[in-house]
Structure 1
Amino acid sequence: MGARITPAAVMTCEELEATLRREFPEMWGGTSSRKIEDVGYLTATVRSIYDPSQLRPGGTISGPTMMGLADLALYAAIMGSVGPVTLAVTTNLSFNFLRKPAQRDLVANCRLLKLGKRLAVGDVFIRSDGEDDVVCHATGTYSIPPR
């Protein structure tokens, strides 16, 4: 059997962030609380920079913070794999909150399980920065518009 060649990402982190700043100025204008750390073919790593405003009662980082981070990680992995398809939309997200995250940055690692012409499906694992334990596991599906 021959070696399998993995395609390269079609967008860099910088190109992806520039696209997000241009298309979503309300979220990415000025200083953003999120950072695209790595993008590859079928993968992305996104950081949510900790801010006390993310906390909910009980001192845990809120679910909506983790939900937005997972959604962004999926979006980044898709765009890194197929290019700037800014009209791609979330069709499903499912979350398992596994443990209380630490009051620090969160890091989401996304891996696309399927990347078709019209649908992409992926897993996202969110961890507190510097820790191995997963605090949230998400699965999601995106609809990709025809080119």
Structure 2
Amino acid sequence: MTSHKPAMSREELSAFLDREFPQIHFGGRTYHVEEVGPLFARLRMDYHERHLRPGGTLSGPAMMGLADLALYAAILAQIGPVALAVTTSLTFNFLRKPEPRALIAESRLLKLGKRLAVGEVAIRSEGHTDLVCHATGTYSIPERR
């Protein structure tokens, strides 16, 4: 794959998300952009009771939201602050029960075109190597004017 230099740094991406999507921090910040790189982003979701389902495990919807945000972050890091890049499809495979700790999502873009981006996300419990969730997604990128 060719080398891509990110258009946004971790700090710029975090500031953009805080400004354009403050609702993701409702009830307190739990999402953190840890790293961006060529066609890559890593996010952390803190372990918090609002992400739990009955039985005390982290919920599928919490992992889905993390995966969606991680892919969005990887795309924006590459193309710059385009708030209207939107999810067109996401597919999830829940592989095992996550540990009661933060989740780490590593997203990688497989294709970055002018109008579509395709990527995958690997989610692990912090400090563990086994995947708890694998997701793939496609995003529509609006035409630049």
TM-score per shorter chain, which class? over 0.9
Task: Tell me which moved more, 53-62 or 104-113.
Answer: 53-62
TM-score by length of 1: 0.93
* One-letter amino acid of the counterpart of residue 110, structure 1: S
TM-score by length of 2: 0.94
1:24-103 to 2 correspondence within 5 Å?
A: 24-28=21-25, 31-103=28-100
**Partner residue, 1:11:** 8
Question: What SS class does the counterpart of residue 59 from structure 1 fall into?
Answer: coil
Unaligned runs of 5+ residues in structure 2 are none
How many correspondences in the alignment? 144
> Is 1:43–1:110's contact at 8 Å kept on the other side of the alignment?
yes
1:132 aligns with 2:129: yes
Letter in 2 for 1:122: G
Cα displacement (A) at 1:75: 0.4
Change (3 A) 1:74 1:5: closer
| Identity percentage of aligned residues | 62
**Is residue 20–residue 28 contact of structure 1 (8 Å, CA) maintained in 2?**
no
State the Cα distance separating 1:29 from its structure 2 match: 6.5
Contact 2:108 2:120 in 1 (8 A): yes
Unmatched 5+ stretches in structure 1: none
Contact 1:21 1:29 in 2 (8 A): no
CA distance in 2, matches of 1:42, 1:134: 20
CA contact (8 A) 2:4 2:39 kept: no
* Cα RMSD (Å): 1.5
Deviation digits for residues 40-81 of structure 1, max 9, x if unmatched?
A: 121000000111221111221001110000000000000111
